[in-house]
Structure 1
């Protein structure tokens, strides 16, 4: 489970000081521990992570990059104008992180993302050329018994477990935002106030701009709960959202939505959990909005057992729309993580009830193996099925069938070193009665593989 939480920012300072590590959002990394030679391992790439700019090392520069090569193949993809397709992705993301003393920081990251894919299917998550992925300045200052920081510019953003605002790291083009945030860390709390517009990705170099048709703003607070267990905490949040000409099964109109939510997460004695509840209110054209979602993840890792096996159950109930002509009931996941329900990435978090059991083992020497199944039902028979970015994949078309389909996948991963990871996966999706009644009913097959290099 790769949940990313504000808690990491609030509580990871000591851990990072002992053992710096890589993150999907390189702006979250803190390599200042390398100021002390005792924390250095002698790795060839380590000198790039802490380049002192003064005698005391209070000002320093960190350099690094990510390189990923990935291929994917679909057969009988019902959500594509080219159902049978094999394509490749390539992505490079170099960055520089400049610290001018303890309170001023400037971060910049370039994205190069290219795809060898059919023009029929290539979209903004596949290719965007060379772009500014992140470019922000940050100032911080101690206040009372805490710290206040303000960050402005282009930035990648992830809150909680990325069910509403995420990095979109799995696809080839990550998501970034233009805007600002103010963060207060005090008394075990980390609280953000933010206002962002997502970046609209276009083909060509250095032509991505803020999407003026969408915006997000709100408050997000996390309370660390170490008395319950390590890495345990509670999130409370409100996220405002606006989108012009939003399309749902019930029609097209301007959308103004407010999400109120809470998340309880943690680990204790082999157990880990990540449970979240969300309520959405607002307006869709002249109609109101009332939508909701409940998401759970509960895992048990068997202690003292060879291969450290785990078993996990994920369960989601996500509202759909009711009778036409009334208030909109379709949940909007806003800017969720990529490949939300697995590698095959066909179904997104709207108008669904699903069960998602997962099992896995650690094979040693950095190898891991996991398998999962997902069973999908429509929550409302009056609404259709949506994709990961919120696009309408299949309208309801009057079907009274509830079952959407069955998905299975196997993922084999290898962390050769902290800098080199490889992964390969196979997945299939067997359409249920609803999809067979409203379109293609063939079994979808998917194969993916990638290599990622970091320093």
Structure 2
């Protein structure tokens, strides 16, 4: 039991964005002799300047196998034996006194077995995912201000609008300038960014020439309930919807309320969008809720949850108004690891159960019932591409997806996961030509250091 708890605690030291790791905390296991690799965390460059210059090294490796039966419900070519993926990265973090920092992270992603060839989120042979310089007025955790300039991953809140896209083989990065301020329970970030375009080769990624994002994101973490509020402005000079292709200028105002009390926990988010798509007005909105209850008297830390979400769709592609939500840069596996459907023009109901039979093992099972919000709009992929246009179908039911997932901490710094999903197409997909049931299996092994 002690080994499992230690392994779980070790993995908790690794953050989704590795530049957020607490390197000084990780170094404690070096002093204890339990992890010699941690001696390369928060390491003094030289004894006489130990307090002024410190170096941290690290990285991760993920091996993943996926097999999808009838990809995109039979619309895409069938992979013969599934797809093998490898993603690895190494990083270095250099601190100069308590104010200056440089962070560089190189990543390589390879894929083999895709019949149609690797997609932009499958393969990127070698490119920086983070390469920035940062200045801050105070040590980490204290009140103050700071600024980060360069290539960097961005992730805010639950990743419903801006996320580093952990699920796919290639993560998402931006060319960005990010300023932040912390004061008591508040943190406020202001940023201007352009997404990096993933290309298959080495050192060939480039910033997008058509898309840009600016915004302010504020978080208050205190008490039973925490709060996020944000304002974002997204621009795409070549945006594509059912209405056509035009210059999109879209603002989003959103808020997220999350927290826990006794056995209850919640994560609710609402966003409203406006702006222009060519000459058309944009009017869109979304609501996402996750409400759970943990049964303290049941072995295994059983949690029952109900997720309900809605995203607006366009009611009339021929009028002068666009009502389709743009989630901007959401997480790649928004509804699940099978990653077949994206958060536009939908409403869904998703009951789920989570069980933790030991500190090192977690099991999750759920069923997702997925419908169209507007019968005049189509169904979209996670990357925003249109899967099926509305056509003549007025059916709402898109698919029902059942899934079971397990994650396991094998040892300190090692973890594994497995996901099995089955998706039956609803009336809308069947009426528009996507008639095959989809099956999905993924097996992953990850090492962090």
In structure 2, distance between residues paired with 1:389 and 1:310: 30
Residues 30, 38 of structure 2: 8 Å contact kept:
no
The residue matched to 1:45 in structure 2 has which SS? helix
Please tell me whether residue 49 in structure 1 is matched to residue 36 in structure 2. Answer: no
Q: TM-score of the superposition, structure 2-length normalised?
A: 0.93
Superposition misfits of 4+ residues, deviation over 6 angstroms: 35-39
Give 1:349's match in structure 2, choosing from 320, 324, 343: 343
1:119 shift after superposition: 5.7
Please tell me whether residue 22 in structure 1 is matched to residue 22 in structure 2. Answer: no
Residues 27, 38 of structure 2: 8 Å contact kept:
no
- State the Cα deviation string for residues 167-212 of structure 1 (Å, max 9, x = none): 1011000000001110011132100110000000011100001011
Give 1:123's match in structure 2, choosing from 119, 135, 150: 119
Residues 137, 144 of structure 2: 8 Å contact kept:
yes
1:338 shift after superposition: 1.4
In structure 2, distance between residues paired with 1:38 and 1:24: 22
Please tell me whether residue 270 in structure 1 is matched to residue 263 in structure 2. Answer: yes
Aligned to 1:294: 287
Residues 82, 121 of structure 1: 8 Å contact kept:
no
Give 2:160's match in structure 1, choosing from 160, 163, 181: 163
Residues 79, 114 of structure 2: 8 Å contact kept:
no
Matches of residues 420-435 of structure 1 in structure 2 within 5 Å? 420-435=414-429
Give 1:83's match in structure 2, choosing from 78, 81, 86: 78
The residue matched to 1:303 in structure 2 has which SS? coil
1:41 shift after superposition: 5.8
Please tell me whether residue 218 in structure 1 is matched to residue 210 in structure 2. Answer: no
Which sits farther off after the overlay, 299-308 or 383-392? 299-308
Give 2:105's match in structure 1, choosing from 101, 104, 109: 109
In structure 1, distance between residues paired with 2:171 and 2:40: 24
In structure 1, distance between residues paired with 2:382 and 2:29: 45
Which sits farther off after the overlay, 22-31 or 402-411? 22-31
Give 1:330's match in structure 2, choosing from 309, 324, 330: 324
Aligned to 1:236: 229
- State the Cα deviation string for residues 42-82 of structure 1 (Å, max 9, x = none): 32321122211254544311111100010111111236531
Residues 228, 255 of structure 2: 8 Å contact kept:
yes
1:325 shift after superposition: 2.1
Aligned residues: 434
Aligned to 1:14: none
Residues 244, 254 of structure 1: 8 Å contact kept:
yes
- State the Cα deviation string for residues 219-246 of structure 1 (Å, max 9, x = none): 11111222x2xxx411111000011221
Which sits farther off after the overlay, 113-122 or 206-215? 113-122
Which sits farther off after the overlay, 295-304 or 212-221? 295-304
Give 1:65's match in structure 2, choosing from 46, 49, 59: 59
Residues 182, 188 of structure 2: 8 Å contact kept:
yes
Residues 89, 115 of structure 1: 8 Å contact kept:
yes
Give 1:32's match in structure 2, choosing from 6, 21, 24: 24
Residues 236, 262 of structure 1: 8 Å contact kept:
yes
Residues 162, 337 of structure 1: 8 Å contact kept:
yes
Residues 315, 354 of structure 1: 8 Å contact kept:
yes
Q: TM-score of the superposition, structure 1-length normalised?
A: 0.91
In structure 1, distance between residues paired with 2:314 and 2:182: 39
Alpha-carbon RMSD across the aligned residues, in angstroms, is 2.0
Aligned to 1:5: none
The residue matched to 2:137 in structure 1 has which SS? strand
Aligned to 2:370: 376
In structure 2, distance between residues paired with 1:35 and 1:425: 33
Residues 314, 374 of structure 2: 8 Å contact kept:
yes
In structure 1, distance between residues paired with 2:12 and 2:97: 19
Give 1:445's match in structure 2, choosing from 395, 420, 439: 439
In structure 2, distance between residues paired with 1:390 and 1:259: 17
Aligned to 1:199: 196
In structure 1, runs of 5+ residues without a counterpart are 1-17
In structure 2, runs of 5+ residues without a counterpart are 1-9
1:19 shift after superposition: 10
In structure 2, distance between residues paired with 1:26 and 1:201: 20
